Amino acid sequence: MTEPDATPPPIPYVPGPTPRLEATPPVIVPEPPKRGARPLAFAVVGLVAGLAIGAGATVALDGGSADPALAAATPGVSPVYVTVTVTVAAPTTAAATTSPPAPPTTAAAPPPAATIEDGTWTVGEDVPAGTYKVTGAGSNCYWAILKSGTNGRDIVDNHLGGGNLRVTIKAGQDFETHRCGMWIKV
């Protein structure tokens, strides 16, 4: 009995056009980072320093330290000294004297402004009573003097239009102004 031949049969030649083979771009595989003793040494030093800080101890990694095995495990590493000082505040006692709290102060209300901008203002509270003027108001300027507390339903006087305007307002009135500019007390 003969053993089968391990070589495959030859591929027959077939005449005709030669098939085109497409070239594939090379695949570049990055080289993994080299692992050395230096990162390990930094990790060991960091761990020891962290433990020393937590324990409040002084550590020297210079071959003559308290842990020679650790110093021997980190050749070429400069000595590292860590000193931790913890200060604890003394507790306060209940017998300590304290001054009574200052009475609350209420700030005096600021004086009413001597100028008026767009909005509705209560005379005597928001703005002082008196005569006000505006110079060069546009044609869309509207102002109204209203009886206070009527929510704008009781109009004493009003005006729509521009120019150099002047109004006199008294306590117990509201003054409403829109698109007139800055009213200045005369």
Residues 35-51: pLDDT tens digits? 655 666 666 667 766 66
Q: Which residue has the tokens 């003394």?
A: 90
Residue 111: pLDDT above 70?
Answer: no
Give pLDDT, residue 150: 84
Judge contact between 83 and 91, C-beta under 8 A: no
pTM for the full model? 0.41
Long-range (24+ apart) CB contacts under 8 A made by 94-101 are: none
Q: How confident is the model at residue 10 (pLDDT cuts 50, 70, 90)?
A: confident
CB proximity list for 120: less than 8 A, separation 6 or greater: 146, 152, 174, 175, 176
3-state helix, strand, coil in the chain (%, to 5): 15, 25, 60
